[in-house]
């Protein structure tokens, strides 16, 4: 490979920053690659925190975030601004991770410019366009525009094969979140939250768009019941800045001495909180991947998951958003030591910490023209 290839890595949200950080680092160490990092800042402060942790400085920042913006407004502005950026930067390849509006519009803008697109964490599916919303649509669009599909598991590969994706374009690499997690989990990090070491910690995250309104109220009522029925627990809930989340959580959960409502934690303290937790309640995708690797039982407050591998392993359980079901399932794990131990086995079906290096190796091989790969077409 005589000339370095220009790879444009795009990040918009905190999870994207976490999961792309190992990829960006691996590519920057590659002699054949010239790497540019573009931040859309779909999540401003949350993204900045994690990029700083991994010592990544965006070369271009679109600063796209506005308070309470609609999906149509966000999508239209992202598509326009990304197209302008691609025209200016002229990358050989665009890479993005996951299922956000940033990723979907990056794939579409790259397609319009005939720039090959690589999809990190490809192939996740619930087969339900309403759950999660709009992420299922986003990953379907990105998945059918991608030239490279870097999938975390064999199930993700099977999903893409069923959709007619060429098997030569699908690569099982593991999930880069495990790369990032293992790096951070090696150290102890300050939490700066006044937790009582004599009590068991229940960590909560709930912020997904499909849970806005009544489902989030059910979740909050279940948390209150848990604290009232289990005097030896305390709850740590880093609250997402979206006003649809903050207003409900403040109304229902403020003022309880054993419920700590805090601003979103930076990634390293959040990993520390997972390490200390006895039980995790979440609607997050990334937590479903991270917590099992740390040996923590996870109850997922959603009706569907695109990460069924951990459910099948018995270390994650879907409980939906019904107050009674959340309370019953969580109480069982808080009261039954054997049930808790059965889910706290440290099983990680999502990777071994080497996903990013595999992605870099695959791109180097393909860009060198091995196996008859044609680069530069979509």
Among the listed residues 14, 44, 121, 366, the single catalytic one is 121
Kind and range of the H or E run holding 8: strand 5-11
Distances (CA, A) of 253 to 225, 239, 269, 324: 11, 11, 22, 17
Q: Is 209 among the catalytic positions? A: yes
Secondary structure (3-state) at 89: helix
Q: Of 199, 200, 209, 340, which is the active-site residue?
A: 209
Q: Which of 16, 135, 283, 323 is catalytic?
A: 135
Sheet arrangement for strand 200-205: 259-262, 233-238, 200-205, 279-282, 298-300, 316-318
Catalytic pick among 240, 260, 302, 358: 240
Task: Tell me how far apart the alpha carbons of residues 245 and 238 are, in angstroms, rounded to a whole number.
Answer: 11
CA neighbor of 291 nearest in space, from 331, 346, 239: 346
121 is catalytic: yes
Backbone angles phi and psi of 202, in degrees to 5? -110, 120
The two structure tokens encoding residue 176 = 């880069």
Helix, strand, or coil (residue 37): strand
Specify whether 155 is catalytic. Answer: no
> How many CB atoms sit inside 10 A of residue 327's CB?
20
Q: Would you say 153 and 349 are in contact if contact means Cβ atoms under 8 Å apart?
A: yes
Active site residue 83: no
Distance CA 280, CA 244 (A): 22
Active site residue 230: no
Q: Which position among 119, 149, 207, 307 bears the catalytic label?
A: 207
Cis peptide before 289 (omega within 30 of 0): no
Catalytic residue among 99, 179, 272, 283: 99
Backbone angles phi, psi at 335, to 5 degrees: -105, -25
- 240 as an active site residue: the answer is yes
Nearest alpha carbon to residue 76 among 91, 64, 60: 64
Q: Which residues carry out catalysis? A: 99, 121, 135, 207, 209, 240
């Amino acid at each position: 490979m005589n000339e370095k290839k220009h790879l444009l890595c795009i990040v918009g949200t905190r999870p994207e920053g976490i999961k792309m950080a190992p990829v960006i680092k691996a590519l920057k160490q590659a002699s054949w690659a010239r790497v540019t990092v573009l931040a859309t800042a779909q999540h401003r402060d949350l993204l900045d925190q994690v990029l700083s942790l991994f010592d990544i400085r965006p070369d271009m920042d679109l600063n796209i975030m506005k308070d309470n913006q609609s999906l149509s407004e966000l999508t239209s502005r992202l598509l326009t601004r990304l197209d302008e950026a691609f025209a200016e930067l002229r990358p050989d390849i665009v890479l993005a991770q996951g299922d956000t509006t940033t990723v979907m519009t990056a794939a579409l803008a790259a397609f319009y410019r005939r720039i090959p697109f690589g999809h990190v964490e490809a192939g996740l599916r619930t087969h339900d366009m309403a759950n999660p919303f709009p992420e299922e649509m986003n990953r379907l669009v990105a998945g059918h525009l991608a030239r490279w599909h870097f999938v975390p598991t064999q199930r993700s590969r099977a999903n893409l094969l069923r959709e007619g994706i060429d098997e030569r374009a699908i690569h099982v690499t593991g999930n880069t979140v495990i790369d990032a997690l293992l790096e951070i989990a090696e150290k102890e990090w300050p939490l700066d939250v006044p937790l009582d070491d004599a009590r068991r910690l229940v960590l909560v995250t709930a912020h997904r768009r499909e849970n806005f309104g009544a489902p989030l109220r059910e979740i909050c009522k279940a948390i209150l019941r848990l604290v009232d029925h289990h005097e030896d627990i305390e709850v740590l809930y880093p609250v997402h800045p979206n006003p649809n989340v903050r207003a409900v959580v403040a109304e229902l959960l403020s003022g309880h001495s054993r419920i700590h409502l805090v601003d979103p934690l930076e990634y390293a303290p959040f990993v520390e909180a997972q390490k200390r937790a006895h039980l995790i309640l979440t609607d997050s995708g990334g937590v479903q991947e991270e917590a099992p690797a740390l040996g923590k039982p996870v109850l997922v407050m959603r009706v569907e998951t695109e990460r069924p591998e951990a459910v099948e392993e018995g270390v994650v359980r879907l409980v939906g958003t019904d107050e009674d079901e959340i309370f019953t399932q969580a109480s069982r794990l808080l009261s039954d030591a054997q049930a808790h131990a059965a889910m706290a086995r440290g099983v990680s079906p999502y990777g071994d910490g080497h996903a990013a290096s595999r992605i870099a190796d695959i791109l180097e091989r393909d860009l060198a023209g091995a196996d008859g790969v044609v680069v530069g077409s979509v």
